[in-house]
Amino acid sequence: MSNPITIDGRFWQANSYLVNHTLIDAGIDPERIIPYKYQIKNIVLTHGHFDHTVHANEIAKLTGAKIYIGEHELPFLTDSSLSLSTHFGSPQIPINAEPLKDGDVIDGFTVFHTPGHTGGSICLFREEDGILIAGDTIFPEGSYGRYDFPTGSISDLRNSVSRMAELPVESLWSGHGEPVEAGAKAHVMLSKRNLI
């Protein structure tokens, strides 16, 4: 078991994380994954916002990897107003992805459907060492994702964060900012408390 490799998001890009054969999120510049080109077999998108997905097609082409996203998030991949691509001055470039369902396991991680930031957001959790990859659902220091974008919902977010707070979380890897490499359960509990 080893920690994810962080490929930090620059400017408005979300972080990507590489663990085993899976790259999580694809907002980073494609040339930055060249050193890992033969390692990446899956690209998992935590949700459909443009800053997490914009380079998915190019990275898939470079690596031959398959792209996955939560089943309820598929409409984001062809819709500029859902993906917020127009905020970034670009039309949505259609992305072909396979749907992931709550409870699916991909490369050792269990998929949790965690609506709130968006309706089809997912978190990934690995039981053995407590790694939680949280997209824009949970951030360190008791923070959490915005819920005022299309399909967002504060009550869904509350339920999702509460659900994650039940897990034996050891480390937290969010879509933006620095990861928390140990003792992250306290951060998740604080996010839960701040949402009540």
Q: Please give the residue ranges that form the binding site for Zn ion (CB under 5 A).
A: 49, 136
Structure tokens at 123: 């978190």
Q: Helices (DSSP H) in 24-153: which residue ranges?
A: 50-53, 56-63, 80-83
What is the enclosing helix (H) or strand (E) of 185? Answer: helix 185-195
CB of 166 to Zn ion, least distance (A): 23
Structure tokens at 149: 């974008």
Give 7 or 170: the residue with its C-beta nearer to Zn ion.
7
Residue 43, φ and ψ in degrees, nearest 5: -120, 115
Give 52 or 126: the residue with its C-beta nearer to Zn ion.
52
CB of 17 to Zn ion, least distance (A): 15
Give 4 or 116: the residue with its C-beta nearer to Zn ion.
116
How many C-beta atoms lie closer than 10 Å to residue 64's C-beta? Answer: 10
CB of 82 to Zn ion, least distance (A): 11
Give 136 or 156: the residue with its C-beta nearer to Zn ion.
136
CB of 49 to Zn ion, least distance (A): 4
Residue 54, φ and ψ in degrees, nearest 5: -55, -35
